[in-house]
Amino acid sequence: MDELIARQGNLSKMAIAMGDDGLARYTLRAGESRLDLNARLGQTLRLSHSGAIACTHCGRATRKSFGQGHCYPCFKRLAQCDTCIVKPETCHYFAGTCREPEWGERHCFQPHVVYLANSSGLKVGITRHTQLPTRWLDQGAIQALPILEVETRQQSGFVEMLFKGQVADRTNWRAMLKGEVAEIDLCAERDRLLATLADGLADLRARFGENTIRTLDAEPLAIDYPILEAPTKVVSHNFDKTPSVGGTLMGLKGQYLMFNTGVINLRKFTGYEISVE
Ligand SMILES: [Zn+2]
């Protein structure tokens, strides 16, 4: 299907779906073009940046990309670009200063999931239900387990802060790409952490309401990525420095393309106009 469409357009983050076999399936999205990347493994692929960048929100041309694909005015104006999205415990809706209160009500005042994942080791994270399993696939997690459900994004931030005293909240992307990641018994880690943090969770329940932070009884998910050969040394490409990036496609993990010439994080280049060969 994709052979008939001109492969040029502005990059979106790759669409990653989870197959029944547990294998992540990648689709490159550039404008209207779609390319099945799993089918391109082992073949040559080249992405060339024209120099143009369009804001993913308003579409206007921007010389630089802010906050993963926004023009500067959108970056300063949109609630989704505010620092409280990354640090939900700093939510300032109740101070009356939310950049877009209606957007905040739709996105932040709804149940969030606190999860454990294994991307480059054990980590904690938060997301909305609708973002699962996308969030884990975007991070290159090989295992994931939802552990708690909370009422709002801000509450998920407080819970995450509590967990950050015990586990990482970031991925070491080099280790994630090299694939030197040992399996973890996520259920055992969940039980250990919930016991260790019982007092802190009780304090949060006392503050927000007894039923606001609920323990989930989920099964861990295992995820496989299409990888012929993981890099032993990670060299990263950047369209700002090298407009044309490509080689033999060796693997796909998280939002990274792995070429025999190096890797590129396509998420970073959302909105960049590229052509694909
Ligand atoms: Zn914009």
Q: Is residue 156 part of a domain?
A: yes
Q: What is the pLDDT of residue 2?
A: 47
Whether 218 and 232 map to the same domain: the answer is: no
Token pair 């993981």 in the structure block, residue:
230
**122 and 58 fall within a common domain:** no
140 belongs to a structural domain: yes
DSSP-derived pairing of the beta strands 256-259 and 33-36: unpaired
From the CA of 171, how far away is ligand 1's center (Å)? Answer: 29
* Chosen domain end from 201, 222, 243: 222
Angle at 8 between CA 229 and CA 231, to 5 degrees: 15
DSSP secondary structure, 78-119, as one string: -GGGSHHHHSGGG--GGGT--SSHHHHHHHTSS-EEEEEEES
Residue 65 CA to ligand 1 centre (angstroms)? 10
Alpha helices in the chain (DSSP H): 72-77, 83-86, 101-107, 134-139, 153-164, 173-178, 186-196, 198-208
Distance 12 CA to ligand 1 centre (A): 15
CB 249, CB 257: distance < 8 Å: yes
Ion ligand 1: protein residues whose beta carbon lies under 5 Å: 55, 57-58, 71, 74
DSSP-derived secondary structure letter, 185: -
Find the 83 Cα to ligand 1 centroid distance in Å. 17
Q: Using the mean position of ligand 1's atoms as its centre, give its distance from the Cα of residue 11 in Å.
A: 15
Note whether 169 and 271 are same-domain residues: no
Q: What is the pLDDT of residue 7?
A: 85
- Note whether residue 160 is domain-resident: yes
- CA 67 / ligand 1 centre spacing (Å): 11
- How many angstroms does the Cα of residue 66 sit away from the middle of ligand 1? 9
Residue type, position 43, single letter: Q
In the reported structure, the alpha carbon of residue 75 is separated from the centroid of ligand 1 by a whole-number distance in angstroms of: 7
Radius of gyration of the chain (CA): 20
Q: Are residues 116 and 212 in the same domain?
A: yes
Task: Please check whether residues 233 and 261 belong to one and the same domain.
Answer: yes
Per-residue pLDDT, 203: 97
Q: 121 and 91 in one domain?
A: no
CA of 53 to the centre of ligand 1 (A): 11
Task: Report how far ligand 1's centroid is from the alpha carbon of 70 (Å).
Answer: 5
Select from 183, 203, 222 the last residue of a domain: 222
Question: Within a domain: residue 72?
Answer: no
CA of 10 to the centre of ligand 1 (A): 14
Shared domain for 192 and 121, answered yes or no, is yes
What pLDDT does residue 6 have? 60
Q: Would you state the structure tokens that stand for residue 40, as one six-digit string?
A: 């391109």
- Look up the pTM and report it: 0.94
Q: Are residues 239 and 161 in the same domain?
A: no
**Is the four-CA dihedral 54, 60, 64, 70 of positive or negative sign?**
negative
Let me know whether 252 and 200 are in one domain: no
**Rounded-to-integer distance, Cα 9 and Cα 273, Å:** 5
Domain count along the chain: 3
Interval between CA 131 and ligand 1 midpoint (Å): 23
Q: Give the domain-ending residue among 196, 222, 248.
A: 222
Q: Cα separations (Å) of 138 from 18, 49, 117, 148?
A: 11, 22, 12, 20
Tell me, what's the pLDDT at 180?
Answer: 87
> Does residue 35 sit in the same domain as residue 95?
no
Low-confidence ranges of the chain (pLDDT < 50): 1-2, 4
pLDDT for 1 equals 45
Same domain as 181, residue 212 = yes
Domain that holds residue 255: 2-67+225-276
Residue 73 lies in a domain: no
CA 193, distance to chain mean position in Å, is 23
